[in-house]
Structure 1
Amino acid sequence: MVELNQVTRTVRLSDDQSLDILRGVDLSIRAGDHLSIVGRSGSGKSTLLNILGLLDLPSAGEMRFAGQPVASMSEKRRAVARGASVGFIFQQFNLLPGRTALENVMTPLLYARGRQFWRREQLAAEMLDRVGLADRMREKPHKLSGGEQQRVAIARALVRSPKLILADEPTGALDVETGQAVMALLDGVALESGAALVTITHDPTVAGLAHRHFRLQDGRLHVGVLAA
């Protein structure tokens, strides 16, 4: 599904110096994979997630998405692939403040076609029910707790049954019991659809649920290390 070969991400600083955020990252993600990535703040985890989700491009190296070289894809083509195949769970939630929970979850379906588009309200309501928010779907984000907002964000990410789920601290705003339920939901949806699930987390318990484990340190990806 996704292949990274010696991927580097470099940014230019205000003093015209360059900073290597990612350094020669190799990673292959297959359908049905569940992998976790741990690392300290500033280690490049979010940058890697953005590259995997086609929000950002490598500065060097090769990346393939669904077999296609990303370097040869136009911005529009990347956006279409991202909308159809990738579900993001952002640490900051990124909910639309003036929209209800139901409307927020419906948003990705506005770009769908056929039955998904016409059934968008029903699909959004069903997904909110699955994350335990059936009785809160008409509320706007400012009326929801941080944990409820997180579950709305998760429902929004899953509503199109994406082939690649990218979760940035998906249980960070949740209590232990709700966090376990959410991870069970993510695993269940991924299993049902054959999707790959990539989880960035500081929580070793959440990381331990994955089949493969990685640690990002100094811009390099190390295999099989849980401790951050």
Structure 2
Amino acid sequence: MTFLELRGVGRTVSRVDDRPLVILDGVDLVVEVGDRLSIVGRSGSGKSTLLNLLGLLDSPTEGEIFLDEEPTRDFSARRRDVTRGRDVGFIFQQFNLLQGRTALENVMTPLLYDTGSAFWRRRAIAGEMLDRVGLGHRLSSTPDRLSGGEQQRVAIARALVRRPRLILADEPTGALDIETGEIVMALLDEIATASDAALVTITHDPAIAALATRRFRLEKGALVDAAAPVTARAGASGHPFAAAGGGSDS
């Protein structure tokens, strides 16, 4: 069942005294419920821009994005915020944890915007999620007292605590060693599977990307099948799972 779809999506940025910068061009992508897909590409290829569009943090300048077959272009700012908070979980390379707050408080944060029982049970729900990622004994630890792998697990718990339908992971193992990165990716896949969430991973690392069932590559703003030969100009379609590498891109 299709959850999210991009049709002919483009993103162009105007520049003073220069031609407009085309970051994405004619991107077509279908994300099914429970999908596992990865997108690889060099820095500046448009990976982060695509992730922001998938997560409704930004809007395309061309084409259309559909959520449950409804065009998101018509969404109000409030509806975009509510939808993103409810349906999308973000995992970033740099973790973005709140310094000075405990692991439990960090994971509780998304639940502060919830309603009903989830809000009132936020401590218990956050504690259960931390226990699930193997950090039930670290609830009171602040980020500065956690290892890189532990911080990433806190970030994963925070992203998944509201059981989103879509998980967007931007270089989630980029700051980790190889062994810890593999453990984190296995954990991420396990939890996503349990909630039947779609998982989209942006990465520089082809080895981790190969863990995905659908694999894409970004070339000069176009999304192409990972199995397709590299060309001077790209078309549209897919590449592998998870993340590594470093740095940011457009």
CA distance in 2, matches of 1:16, 1:158: 42
Number of equivalenced pairs: 228
Q: Distance in 1 between matches of 2:88 and 2:161?
A: 11
* Structure 1 residues 14 and 134: CA distance shift in structure 2, 3 A: farther
One-letter code of the match for 1:13?
R
Is 1:9 paired with 2:11? yes
Counterpart position of 1:114: 116
Instruction: Please identify which structure carries the higher helix content.
Output: 1
Whether the aligned pair in 2 keeps the contact of 1:131 and 1:182 (CA below 8 Å) is no
Residue pairs, 1:184-203, within 5 angstroms: 184-203=186-205
Change (3 A) 1:176 1:130: farther
What's the CA shift for 1:20?
0.6
Structure 1 residue 34 corresponds to structure 2 residue 36: yes
Q: Is the 8 A contact 1:29 1:196 kept in 2?
A: yes
Matches within 5 A, 1:73-92: 73-92=75-94
* 2:217 alignment counterpart: 215
Equivalent of residue 224 in structure 1, options 226, 229, 233? 226
Contact 2:149 2:184 in 1 (8 A): no
Structure 2: tracts of 5 or more residues without a match:
228-238, 246-250
Contact 2:94–2:175, Cα closer than 8 Å, also in 1: no
Superposition deviation, residue 178 in structure 1:
2.4
Give the Cα–Cα distance (whole angstroms) in 1 for the partners of residues 178 and 208 of structure 2.
10
Other structure's SS at 2:37 match: strand
**What is the alpha-carbon root mean square deviation over aligned residues?**
1.8
What is the rounded CA distance, in whole Å, between the counterparts of 1:220 and 1:150 in structure 2?
30
User: What SS does the aligned partner of 2:140 have?
Assistant: coil
Q: What's 2:233 paired with?
A: none
Offset of residue 92 of structure 1: 2.3
Q: Match for residue 179 of structure 1?
A: 181
Contact kept? 2:169, 2:200, Cα under 8 Å: yes
In structure 2, what is the Cα distance between the partners aligned to 1:9 and 1:102? 37
For 1:146 and 1:185, how far apart are their aligned partners in 2? 15
State the shift of 1:149 in Å.
2.0
8 Å CA contact retained: 1:150, 1:173: no
**Whole-angstrom distance in 2 between the partners of 1:13 and 1:146:** 38
Q: Percent identity?
A: 65
Equivalent residues in 2 for 1:90-101, closer than 5 Å: 90-101=92-103
Residue ranges of structure 1 left out of the alignment (5+ in a row): none
CA distance in 1, matches of 2:14, 2:144: 37
- TM-score w.r.t. the length of structure 1 is 0.93
> How far 1:173 moved relative to its partner?
2.0
